[in-house]
Amino acid sequence: MNGVRIGNGIDVHRFDMSEAEDSSIILGGVTIPHQFRLLAHSDGDVLTHALMDAMLGALALGDIGTHFPDTDERYRGISSMELLEIVRHLIIEKGWQIGNADMTIVAQAPKIAPHVAAICTSLSRALSVRQDQISVKATTTEKLGFTGRCEGIAVYATVLLVSA
């Protein structure tokens, strides 16, 4: 079928629990205060990573590991929003655009709900789409599993691309 392509992406990052401090995490380009930072080669934006994997997956273009290998010093500490801009252009070059994206953040802590609106705004601006094309939801796992033990955050993303 021409005209639509679907992709999914999953990412997990663990908290650096070696020292509790006044720290923060980044989700969808939005800084959220938390006592632990997320361990990563980049800025640890686990939400944007899952989103990019879904966008690449929709066009069978591999994943962010192949496009932005963590062995490459160019990507050390890089803003994931910069990588998202590269992936966005890749999609456009191939003749596609975002139809909609739906993401679920799985985290026991920090509380995500107060930041969802800001995250949606940030991602819709970065992708040059309307706010109603971007959905970000959050859930806990009722204290079960690694997210429930507050050891890290998981994100599931689904993206529908439509031919431009």
Count CB neighbours of 61 within 10 A: 15
d(CA 95, CA 105): 29
**Taking the complex as a whole, how short is the minimal distance between the CB of residue 46 and Mg ion, in angstroms?**
6
79-98 binders of Mg ion (CB under 5 A): none
Contact 58, 98 (CB under 8 A): no
Residue from 5, 34, 37, 49 in contact with Mg ion (CB under 5 A): 49
Residue from 5, 9, 11, 83 in contact with Mg ion (CB under 5 A): 11
Pick the stretch among 6-14, 109-117, 118-126, 131-139 that binds Mg ion (CB under 5 A).
6-14
Structure token pair of residue 79: 């803003």
With respect to Mg ion, which residue has the nearer C-beta, 11 or 119?
11
**Taking the complex as a whole, how short is the minimal distance between the CB of residue 153 and Mg ion, in angstroms?**
10
Alpha helix locations (H) across 59-110? 64-67, 80-93
**Taking the complex as a whole, how short is the minimal distance between the CB of residue 30 and Mg ion, in angstroms?**
16
Contact 68, 110 (CB under 8 A): no
d(CA 9, CA 73): 24
**Taking the complex as a whole, how short is the minimal distance between the CB of residue 24 and Mg ion, in angstroms?**
17
Pick the stretch among 41-49, 123-131, 132-140, 147-155 that binds Mg ion (CB under 5 A).
41-49
Inter-CA distances, 52 with 45, 60, 109, Å: 11, 12, 23
Contact set with Mg ion (CB under 5 A): 11, 49
